[in-house]
Amino acid sequence: MVRITEDLIRKRAEHNNCEISTLEELSLHQQDIERIENLDKWCRDLKILYLQSNLIPKIENVGRLKKVEYINLALNNIERIENLEGCESLKKLDMTVNFVGELTSIENLKGLYHFRELYLTGNPCTEFEGYKPYVLATLQQLKSLDGREIEKSERILATQDYGVLRARIIQQQEEYKKKREREKKETESQEEKKNEKKPGFDGRWYTDINASDTQKPKDGETGGGDEKTLTIEEEAEKEKEYWAQKAAWTPETRIEMHKHMEEQKNKDKKSDKEEKKKPRAMFTADGRPYNINEPKLDFSLTDNEDINALVLDIACYRHVDTALVDVDVQTRYVRMVIKGKVFQLALDEEVQPDSSTAKRSQTTGHLLVTMPKAKQVVMPKKPEPPVTKCNKTNKNADTKRQKLPNIERLEVDSSLKSSVDFTNIVNKSEKIVPPLGSKMISKDIPEKPNSEDFVDDPDVPPLE
């Protein structure tokens, strides 16, 4: 049952800054409300009230809404119009598709001076003989009935035969009341049959008092004996049969249909939860880790004896950000999570988690995890060859060669050594031209003679 609470009203009053004391319009449709309450206390300024498509059986707690002008109560379980005498400003009342069978209850609307529109379409009272004339004669201030304007001639004719109309309406009401009582009894008997416990079953897995006669249900059966687990196809067929069967249109059947739909919704929610992927088990019952490769990555695990460590090479996705890769090394297993997918590998030997390292290649994207073994192994030294004069000389030469920089030397054929004269590479007789501006004067170059008009003046400074 959904109740009208302060939180519910505030949620529906967002257009009024969630203030309910000054609220003028409120919509509470399709909320499965079963009772009108608290509105006349908290929302005194209401002018428009929407309560359609609920399970309200009675009009109540609205008498102090002096400013309300329009109330919509369509698609509810109301059987009588009442408790609206205090709604002085009421102009329009919508009672479409309810169960109003007491048509004389509209006389409670006589004192509403501003009342103009009434909707009763889909109610049992509309099938009464003389329905429309009786309503027109009773509510003189009414301007429209079931969406149609009222003409003056219709009202005059209805007023002339008002006494006879009312007596006929009361008679039909009584017949309808008897019919409703029979429907209520039938509904109660059907509910009792459903709630009856089947003989021989008291909630335990046996039908006799003796424990030796304990009988467990067969596969596919439950403790109820006749009930069994249905397949999806059987459930769909059963649901189809439920909606295909005929039933009287009463408030009780409407409530039953609503409960049935709620049960189906709960079943669907439950099945959705069950269908959700269960968390993967990482370890066996005795604590041993599973080998898991959800991302389906290629990998190789090698035992590097030189560094006494296990090396795991994982072909990680190249374009995955390293921040999305989480590596966890434990003594007996290594786990990696890539974008929510788990890679776990059990190790045959214990490793040192604190000394383990993980490096990723920037080119290939591979992840290299180096895990030193917990058990240290002492490797024997390689035997050295015996020291001889030749070995000692070679050893010294190798040591010197290691110290010297790596220089490539030009090899010359020894057969050509005697025929090549490296001392005469430069020809001394070749004239050498000094660079421009140089004071160097070669002895082999003759000095240029002075011209005829040359005068050697000692006061002239030399050229530099």
pLDDT in tens, 290-346: 898 888 888 888 888 888 888 989 888 777 788 888 888 888 899 888 888 889 999
pLDDT at 116: 94
pLDDT at 233: 72
Whether 103 has a pLDDT exceeding 80, the answer reads: yes
The model's confidence at residue 454, banded by pLDDT at 50, 70 and 90, is: confident
pLDDT at 210: 46
Q: How far apart are CA 226 and CA 228, in angstroms?
A: 7
3-state helix, strand, coil in the chain (%, to 5): 30, 15, 55
Q: How far apart are CA 387 and CA 333, in angstroms?
A: 48
pLDDT at 146: 93
Say if 6-175 and 292-372 have the same CATH topology: no
More confidently predicted of 448 and 42: 42
pLDDT at 261: 81
Q: Is 304 helix (H, G, I), strand (E, B) or coil?
A: strand
**One-letter amino acid of 154:** E
Closest CA to 146 of 93, 98, 110, 106: 93
Contacts of 279 (CB under 8 A, 6+ apart): none
- 315, burial (CB in 10 Å: exposed 0-12, middle 13-18, buried 19+): middle
Q: What percent of the chain has pLDDT over 90?
A: 30
Whether 195 has a pLDDT exceeding 50, the answer reads: yes
Assess if CATH 3.30.365.10 describes domain 292-372: no
Query: pLDDT, tens digit, for every residue of 61-71?
Result: 998 999 999 99
* CA separation, residue 254 to residues 54, 77, 123, 281, 445 (Å): 11, 8, 14, 47, 133
The domain limits of the chain are: 6-175, 292-372
Contacts of 178 (CB under 8 A, 6+ apart): none
More confidently predicted of 166 and 234: 166
Mean pLDDT of the chain: 79
Q: Do 48 and 25 contact (CB within 8 A), yes or no?
A: yes
Query: pLDDT, tens digit, for every residue of 134-189?
Result: 999 999 999 999 999 999 999 999 898 888 999 999 999 999 999 989 888 888 88
**In the CATH scheme, what is the code of domain 6-175?**
3.80.10.10
Please compute the mean of the pLDDT values over residues 364-388 and round it to a whole number. Answer: 75
Q: For the ranges 50-59, 324-333, 427-436, which has the lowest average pLDDT? A: 427-436
Q: Do 86 and 64 contact (CB within 8 A), yes or no?
A: yes
**One-letter amino acid of 407:** I
pLDDT at 106: 94
